[in-house]
Amino acid sequence: MDCERESFNLSGPLHLTYVLWDNAYHRMSVAASLVQGVYILERDRQDKREDSNALAPPWWKFFHFQLLRPLVDDVDFSIFGAIYEFRPPSSQSNDTLYRSPRYVIAFRGTLTKSHSVSRDIELDIHFIRQGLHRTSRSEIAIQAVRNIAATVGDSNVWLAGHSLGSAMAMLTGKTMAKSGMFIESFLFNPPFVSAPIERIKDERLKHGIRFAGSVITAGLTIAMQARQPRDLSVDPFAALAAWVPYLFVNSSDHICSEYIGYFQHRKNMDEIGAGVIERLATQNSLGGLLMSAFGNEAEPLHLIPSALLTVNVTPPLDFKEAHGIHQWWKPDLQLEHKRYNYK
């Protein structure tokens, strides 16, 4: 079963024989396939599949990409990312390549295999504790993206990632945005550090829980600012607002589905005149505030000001399918799209 899912010829988007780069579904499918390529690169390494036995290359070659180089963790030497270069056929005109990238930097998520699982879980814990930015893997990722963007310009680069890899891509994208470089980013099943409130069916109860959480978070933020004064006229989210990543979440995936409520609740709070409370709450998490109270500065990585949110509402067979990367290139998806801009 694993080999079938790893084989492009058996489970890849073979129906995309021609990519329209201004088509949202095509762009999503290509980005997801390149992320899958990183997963299979590491599986090839672990299983010692080389040359004609390697399963990874079709995941990028089918779309005319070349592997420029893998990104290797300096702790366990696993491949966690890849830099791809787009090499379109000479027969393609410039008109057909509109919105295509020159380079894509993609990151995989957690692999439950003995060779890499301990390091991946360690990084999952770093993410939950909001310390992913202090890891060597993030430093490697950010430096790689910074070098590429400085060479070809941020408009020619894509970021893509799935699960833990989407957290890595989000951290990298936010870091670049703070320096004025807004990289197009495709974040699949990005983890949201929160109780899965979105799974509650009662809308009034769900809104009440979120409202109470916003009030508590805003109150703690004000209390922390009283202890550690800073210029309240400076909105750190405003500097990131122009970066609008694509977020792809599944409504049945409790790891990422809270993004649906996160953005909708912010809109609801504005509509009832509680925007000031939500402006403080949307930038902070209770976990991050508690860590700051104990002297550990922790920026909540999962909180972002703007996004193009795509929700897959297609009923999944199980949680594995709801959280998996394979869903994002299926041809008959039921998708809902919403754009959220930070005010």
Which pLDDT tens digits describe the chain residue by residue (343 residues)?
567 889 999 999 999 999 999 999 999 999 999 999 999 999 999 999 999 999 999 999 999 999 999 999 999 899 999 999 999 988 787 777 888 999 999 999 998 877 778 888 888 888 777 678 888 999 999 999 999 999 999 999 999 999 999 999 999 999 999 999 999 999 999 999 877 777 777 677 776 777 666 666 666 666 666 556 555 555 678 889 999 999 999 999 999 999 998 898 777 777 666 666 666 666 665 555 455 544 455 567 888 999 999 999 999 989 999 999 999 999 999 999 999 998 7
Cα–Cα distance for residue pair 160/178, rounded to 1 Å: 18
Report the pLDDT value the prediction gives residue 224, as an integer from 0 to 100. Answer: 61
Whether residue 303 contacts residue 267, with contact meaning beta carbons closer than 8 Å, is answered with: no
Report the pLDDT value the prediction gives residue 303, as an integer from 0 to 100. Answer: 87
Measured in whole angstroms, the distance separating CA 143 from the mean position of its chain's CA atoms is: 18
What single letter denotes the amino acid at residue 332? D
Distances (CA, A) of 196 to 37, 212, 252: 30, 15, 10
Report the pLDDT value the prediction gives residue 294, as an integer from 0 to 100. Answer: 45
H helix count then E strand count, the chain: 12, 8
Whether residue 85 contacts residue 102, with contact meaning beta carbons closer than 8 Å, is answered with: yes
Whether residue 138 contacts residue 127, with contact meaning beta carbons closer than 8 Å, is answered with: no
Cα–Cα distance for residue pair 147/165, rounded to 1 Å: 19
Report the pLDDT value the prediction gives residue 83, as an integer from 0 to 100. Answer: 98
Q: Is 74 helix (H, G, I), strand (E, B) or coil?
A: coil
Domains (range + CATH), the chain: 2-199+237-269+302-340 (3.40.50)
